[in-house]
Structure 1
Amino acid sequence: MNTTGKFRFLNQTSRVVQQNEDGFYTLYKMDCPDGKGDMTIYQVFPGIELFLANFDSTRCTFEHEPYVNTMQINYCQEGRVGWQLNSGACMYLGAGDLSIHMMDNCTSSTMSFPLKRYSGVGVVIDLDKVAADPPEILRDTDIDVNEFKRKFCEDDRYLVMPARDEIEHIFSKLYSLPNCMQKPCFKLKVQELLLFLWMIDVNKEKQREQYLSPQVEVIKEIHKLLVSDLRQRPTIEELSKEYLINTATLKSTFKGVYGQPIATYMKEYRIRQAAILLRRNNDTISGIAKQVGYENQSKFATAFKKIMNVSPTEYRLQHQIESQDIINSL
């Protein structure tokens, strides 16, 4: 169960379900504990692979060989994704963000998906192979791909670049290409990516705050507590005392992991859980409001409309009409 290139899984968390005859791509189904995921890996150039990933899960564990002088670039198209690296650092990407790290820093790691969804693009580059046999466009430049390691990842460093137009331009269309256009477009975009990275001045890039594994694990426990009973509304000060973490670290790390300040995240979480209840049962709106932590139905209705753009009553009615239309069409 290996690809023909660098990205080879050593554990049993994946299985090949499709592979084309010329070896251009291999589709893997990933073993996720609470959902599903797949990765399609494409052999774009000698020493360069591109993969498209889709997950509806909270996490997936990977193991691969400690590839030396091999760089991995990841782009988050939708959702949110995080890695715990061998160095103990944790990095997180939101929609539009890009990260760069060396693959000997993630030999056994768990990809986590804090929003339980993730779509993204990855590029794996064997720097030695590409230096020996570079893509055609690089032969007309003075680019030395081995400089990428020193530039971005020396001493187990990694880089997370916030979303920007240039990054979106490179990656945004890769998911919607017809099959006949994948190979030429992937070749074009990978070369465009290398040129873009070569022009980046790392010293001018604003570095994202780094998070350590123990901090992240505490934040995940806090998140688990918060979503386990939406009727409860513990304050940040109460959480800080209970979990022995100072308030500033709690707030910054929660935002780093889940992408939003804790109050904003929980407000949206409550409303989206309420939307699920409105679709699934016939409880009164006031009853549903209490289940997600609103004693005041008027405040609940105002918050719901702000996030969902319709009132709770209108939302339930729309869903009932859509469900009936589906039944009538059967």
Structure 2
Amino acid sequence: MGKELYTIIEKLKDVPEGICVNIRHSLGTSDIVKTASSEGMTDSSRLKSETYELYPGIELSFHCYLADHFHIRHCHGISVLSIDHCRAGRIGWEMKGGLSLYFGSGDLSFHYTDKCSDSEITLPLGYYEGLSIALDLPVLQDSLPELLNDAGVDVRDLCLKFCGDRETAALPASSRIEHIFSEVYDLPEQTKLPYLKLKCQELLMFLNMAEPAMENALDAHYSEQVSLIRQIHDQMTEHPEKRYTIDELAKEYLINTAALKSIFKSVYGMPVAAYMKHYRIMKAAGLLRNSNESIASVARAVGYESQSKFSAAFKDIMKILPTDYRRQYTHV
């Protein structure tokens, strides 16, 4: 998680806080349009999107975000399908109809863009890197790329297969998805456009052959349930020195324990206990770097009464003992 975050910070080093930068490369021209906006942004958020028009009716956009949440508005119509791939972090949309869909590293999601035309985006880990492919269905009905036409790809059939009546869906990470996207994100500029065209067609042909019923699809949840889970998350992270049980939290927030565990994992990508262990250790790492508190005091501040248990947990996550970790930063 730490390495991913530092990579995204580096990619956004030229984007001021509170600003969203959009870069667009139009089809058949060398013109590049760059715009910046602060609408729907919090003061500390930094967002960047770069869009390539690959074919008539097909656009691919790279996204790099540092934020807890932000609001978006766009004017895509009901006939545009978005296919989103997450490279790092987690992202969630509160969509029209009261559903929230969250997915994370390696996952693939599908939704009609009118469902998120005016929606709240949440980044449970505070960062996100990924890409989206927008398919304009009426345009592609008349001008499908030749290779896709030869392969018998029907984009409307793809929409029905993966979204159907739900209008939103997600597939969990798999080796097949990873194969398609593994080399897409850091291409040299001179080969980027032709490579993206090839990879986009490869993805659509893969989806044309895939059987979604055989996949363990990710679930969307009602936004009210997700809001409740975020409240539970905030309570636990605001008081890392306390040890809450699932039963205690379920009673306090009037939610079924099974639902609490299931929705928490959907939103934050880990079971409650694993997430809180990771959160406590990352919090402790910050205290070790930026304070003179003793190891025992840091351990207590993040919920470990036993220094030996804290040291074992710290080494499990950070691959180094807390004393050695502090010594590294003191030396620097």
**Would you call these one fold, judging by a TM-score over 0.5?**
yes
* Contact in 2 for aligned 1:28/1:39 (Cα 8 Å): no
Distance change (3 Å), C-alpha of 1:290 and 1:100: same
Q: 1:72 aligns with which of 78, 82, 98?
A: 82
* TM-score normalised per structure 1: 0.89
SS of match in other structure, 1:274: helix
What is the alpha-carbon distance in structure 1 between the residues aligned to residue 155 and residue 108 of structure 2? 18
CA distance in 2, matches of 1:67, 1:186: 24
Write the letter of the residue equivalent to 2:185: Y
Equivalent position SS for 2:185: helix
**Which letter does structure 2 place at the counterpart of 1:111?**
I
For 2:271, the equivalent position in structure 1 comes to: 261
2:307 to 288, 297, 318: 297
Checking the alignment, whether the CA contact within 8 Å between 1:98 and 1:163 is kept in structure 2 is yes
Unaligned runs of 5+ in 1: 1-12, 324-330
Q: CA RMSD in A?
A: 1.9
1:154 deviates by 2.4
> Which amino acid in structure 1 is aligned with residue 297 of structure 2?
G
Cα distance, 1:81–1:29 mapped onto 2, change above 3 Å:
farther
Distance in structure 1 (CA, Å) of the matches to 2:72 and 2:323: 44
| Partner of residue 131 from structure 1, selected from 141, 144, 147 | 141
The equivalent residue for 1:89 is 99
TM-score (norm 2): 0.88
- Aligned residue among 147, 150, 160 for 1:140: 150
- The residue number in structure 1 matching 2:56 is 46
1:114 corresponds to which of 121, 124, 133: 124
Q: When the two structures are aligned, how many residues end up with a matched partner? A: 310
2:298 is equivalent to residue 315 of structure 1: no
Q: Identity over the aligned pairs, expressed in percent? A: 40
- Any residues of structure 2 matched to 1:1-330 within 5 Å, and which? 16=21, 22=29, 26=33, 31=38, 32-33=41-42, 34-321=44-331, 323=332
Q: Which stretch of the first structure deviates more once superposed, 19-28 or 197-206?
A: 19-28
- Looking at structure 2, the residues matched to 61 and 23 of structure 1 have their Cα atoms a distance apart, in angstroms, of 31
One-letter amino acid matched to 2:262: S
SS of the residue corresponding to residue 176 of structure 1 reads coil
Q: Specify whether residues 27 and 171 from structure 1 end up closer, same or farther in structure 2 by C-alpha distance, changes over 3 A only.
A: farther
State the Cα distance separating 1:288 from its structure 2 match.
Answer: 0.9
Q: Secondary structure at the match of 1:123?
A: strand
Change (3 A) 1:28 1:100: farther
- Structure 1 residue 28 displacement after superposition: 5.4
1:65 to partner: Cα distance: 2.1
Distance 1:201 1:262 in 2: 31
Name the CA distance, whole Å, in 2 between partners of 1:99 and 1:242: 33
Question: Segments of 4+ in structure 1 off by > 6 A?
Answer: none
Does the residue aligned with 2:91 lie in a helix, a strand or coil? Answer: strand
**Cα displacement (A) at 1:253:** 0.7
| Residue identity matched to 1:165 | S
How far residue 212 of structure 1 moved from its aligned partner, in angstroms, is 0.9
Amino acid aligned to 2:141: A
User: CA contact under 8 A between 2:86 and 2:108: conserved in structure 1?
Assistant: yes
| 1:30 Cα offset (Å) | 6.2
| 2:9 equivalent in structure 1 | none
CA contact (8 A) 1:84 1:106 kept: yes
Q: Deviations over 1:63-95 (max 9, x none)?
A: 112512110000000111111121222111111
Instruction: Mark the runs of 5 or more structure 2 residues left unpaired by the alignment.
Output: 1-17
